[in-house]
């Protein structure tokens, strides 16, 4: 069973249920509990990058584009692309590394994390990313490869290194 979002994007019903639960989550957040949850639907800017932690756990990183459109004061259509850095670990990383590719439309659910590291010149650097807990492919089989995000912008270059230090792994 599927539901239809604006723009005729069809999504599986469990995702629709999650989206409908947002008001309940917000009510919980007004109490003493806090929520760190990101829900995104977008397209990959390039194929995922596969890496391994020092202890051998698979990690994938990819950039996800989400587009926003509106009309300006003169009636011209304006489009803005926002890029999100996504990181996955373990089994989800294996799935992303094996099945995702540039242009693929995906749903990602996760938490927002900011981490820091020192670059080769000793400067402290920061990056904000979504640590994915769930991912669902939304394209039909065979779609995705070679499709570009709709905006004119291209994904920003990766500022990370090839191996994640053990103290950067979030668990």
Domain boundaries along the sequence of the chain: 1-34, 36-150
Q: What is residue 20's predicted lDDT score, i.e. its pLDDT?
A: 64
User: Are 86 and 111 in contact, with CB atoms under 8 Å apart?
Assistant: no
Instruction: State the Cα–Cα distance between residues 137 and 76, nearest whole angstrom.
Output: 32
| Local structure of 86: helix, strand or coil | strand
Instruction: State the Cα–Cα distance between residues 140 and 143, nearest whole angstrom.
Output: 6
Using CB atoms within 10 Å of the CB of residue 108, give its burial: 0 to 12 exposed, 13 to 18 middle, 19+ buried.
Answer: buried
Q: Model's pTM, two decimal places?
A: 0.68
Each of the 171 residues of the chain gets a pLDDT tens digit; together they read 455 555 555 555 555 556 666 666 666 656 667 889 999 999 999 999 999 999 999 999 999 999 999 999 999 999 999 999 999 999 999 999 999 999 999 999 999 999 998 999 999 999 999 999 999 999 876 555 444 444 444 444 444 444 444 444 443
Q: Which residue has the tokens 């650097």?
A: 125
The domain 36-150 belongs to what CATH superfamily?
Nucleic acid-binding proteins (2.40.50.140)
User: Are 47 and 63 in contact, with CB atoms under 8 Å apart?
Assistant: no
Instruction: State the Cα–Cα distance between residues 89 and 48, nearest whole angstrom.
Output: 12
Q: What is residue 79's predicted lDDT score, i.e. its pLDDT?
A: 94
| Local structure of 98: helix, strand or coil | helix
């Amino acid at each position: 069973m599927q539901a239809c979002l604006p723009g005729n994007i069809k999504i599986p019903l469990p995702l629709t249920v999650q989206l409908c639960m947002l008001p309940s989550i917000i009510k919980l957040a007004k109490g003493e509990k806090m929520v760190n949850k990101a829900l995104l639907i977008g397209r990959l800017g390039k194929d995922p990058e596969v890496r391994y932690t020092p202890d051998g756990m698979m990690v994938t990183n990819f950039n996800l584009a989400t587009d926003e459109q509106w009309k300006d004061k003169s009636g011209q259509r304006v489009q803005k692309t926002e890029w999100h850095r996504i990181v996955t670990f373990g089994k989800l990383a294996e799935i992303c590394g094996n099945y995702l590719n540039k242009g693929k439309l995906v749903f990602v659910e996760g938490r927002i994390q900011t981490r820091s590291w020192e670059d080769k010149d000793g400067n402290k650097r920061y990056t904000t990313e979504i640590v994915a807990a769930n991912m669902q492919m939304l394209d039909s089989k065979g779609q995705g490869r070679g499709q570009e995000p709709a905006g004119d912008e291209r994904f920003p270059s990766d500022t990370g290194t090839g191996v994640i230090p053990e103290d950067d792994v979030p668990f």
